[in-house]
Structure 1
């Protein structure tokens, strides 16, 4: 059995009606074959979109096959007991040159009942924002289903949605049930449950190349939506250098941000989980055991659970998300 090491995967590119060119120009994934690349899937266990190892002795192996072979050595005992051979997270970069559809994702119970799937809770880290770029997260007042439907049917949904102007390094936690959309001019990293279920509420009457509108899921969304109003939708955190800063912690994943200009050792002995590193800015070297790996913005790396200690050595200013279950 080949000894496990930090794994990079081949990028899966997704053509989207609202996609742009920042995947190429900012993240330097200039080998994208798509003109309108709206998403890249960096680490995925979703059927028909399973990530394949890009380099090293395990190059060409599918993530799902590796879980079957290495089990808890790859994902951790706690994760393997809960998720078995299903990888529990999906990592993406998203580039919106136009507003995405207004949408909502079901929770675990509803997703299991309807789709035999996990629900979809996610977190967004804003990498770059054009001037005046905005997003939608939740409602701007207390409403109920009747008020929601009236505004939807009157084409006045925008009156009750919470719109936020966005800057680089902003973080938004989007639990299942929260109505949301990513606005035009935003490039972000997304970490989410391993699910591709989206209920599209409104799509700005857009049509594809054939003049056809995308499907809406009005009825399915009604039972999925959290109609509550919350005082704040943006995740508050205090940026610090050369230490892990907690962004979100929930039953599905915990995510930290590390902003480094000095080497930082990370000890994962107590986690009992794999760790995902999503590189946001700059370059660094990942040192593990007797090996090392270069990192740069746009890279995502799966650190197997069997590797309990790593060191990140930045080359100048380096920023990375650290995520585990």
Structure 2
């Protein structure tokens, strides 16, 4: 079976920019596009297969038809017909709200289906791009609420200037905000549970402040302070470099300048490939040849044994 390619689900936002449409080579006339949902099984926000046998069908229908052949035996037992990952491109022309996501356990207590753990890989962003990630000082839930009320919560969060290639792992409970000028790829659990902590006193198009979730967030924040929240790794050409390993996904980065064969025969999982820069070809063990360029996101089924790459590109590989 050929890898699955999807129609992007574009989201116009209060803080969205103008990078996504040209990056993905789309012919759309939309402003303030903050997100492109590349691969999504979120109910009400599912991506649709764009070509091949399953063209026109939502991702959940493909999972229901292919089952473990698409996602892997263990993943199908664990997640059923729900695809376990959500892949996005995010373009922030203005800062996003400061927010946090609950763990699965806390989400269940709050009446939600699951929490959200995610990661960011920074792409070609503005020179002054920055973000807020993690607490830089020890605070209590009571102090947190006071700092939200008196507009000083930003002072408690670590600030990072960022550039292409930077990576941040955001386990559920880690406070964060994507800053102005950031252009990134986000990999996360299939969940849309977000608690907005602080929104810089902005108003929406109707002149209203957006809802804050101060109490739910207080219950969800992990108040542990770490010395560094940036993922440190050593880039290597033509070799997979592990960025994140967690119970929800494993993610590797390939900086490709020569042909490479990626052996995935030992994985009991689908493989998602995301091209963040450059272009080339991907060929699977069945002989399917796919031309790819920056902005392309594909799902290779769990039956895939190997993926051969050609071309000069940066490629993210992620699986469960």
Q: Structure 2 length as normaliser, TM-score?
A: 0.97
Query: 1:310 is matched with which residue?
Result: 307
Looking at structure 2, the residues matched to 29 and 260 of structure 1 have their Cα atoms a distance apart, in angstroms, of 21
Looking at structure 2, the residues matched to 202 and 116 of structure 1 have their Cα atoms a distance apart, in angstroms, of 21
Looking at structure 2, the residues matched to 276 and 265 of structure 1 have their Cα atoms a distance apart, in angstroms, of 15
* Corresponding residue to 2:51 among 43, 49, 55: 55
Query: 1:11 is matched with which residue?
Result: 8
Looking at structure 2, the residues matched to 61 and 17 of structure 1 have their Cα atoms a distance apart, in angstroms, of 30
What count of residue pairs does the alignment treat as equivalent? Answer: 319
Query: 1:192 is matched with which residue?
Result: 188
Task: Please give the secondary structure, in 1, of the residue aligned with 2:254.
Answer: strand
Alignment pair present for 1:21 and 2:7: no
Task: Please give the secondary structure, in 2, of the residue aligned with 1:129.
Answer: coil
Alignment pair present for 1:227 and 2:231: no
Assess if the C-alpha contact under 8 Å between 1:285 and 1:293 holds in 2. Answer: yes
Looking at structure 2, the residues matched to 286 and 215 of structure 1 have their Cα atoms a distance apart, in angstroms, of 44
Relative to structure 2, which stretch is displaced further, 143-152 or 294-303? Answer: 143-152
Query: 2:319 is matched with which residue?
Result: 324
Query: 2:132 is matched with which residue?
Result: 136
Query: 2:41 is matched with which residue?
Result: 45
Looking at structure 2, the residues matched to 113 and 34 of structure 1 have their Cα atoms a distance apart, in angstroms, of 39
- After TM superposition, the structure 1 = structure 2 runs for residues 259-278 of structure 1, keeping only pairs within 5 Å, are 259-278=255-274
* Corresponding residue to 1:297 among 280, 294, 297: 294
Alignment pair present for 1:281 and 2:277: yes
Cα offset, 1:245, TM superposition: 0.2
Assess if the C-alpha contact under 8 Å between 1:13 and 1:34 holds in 2. Answer: no
Root-mean-square deviation over aligned CA pairs: 1.1
Gap runs ≥5 in structure 1 = none
Q: Structure 1 length as normaliser, TM-score?
A: 0.96
Moved over 4 A (4+): none
Assess if the C-alpha contact under 8 Å between 2:144 and 2:218 holds in 1. Answer: no
Gap runs ≥5 in structure 2 = none
Query: 1:31 is matched with which residue?
Result: 27
Assess if the C-alpha contact under 8 Å between 2:93 and 2:181 holds in 1. Answer: yes
Alignment pair present for 1:181 and 2:214: no
Alignment pair present for 1:247 and 2:243: yes
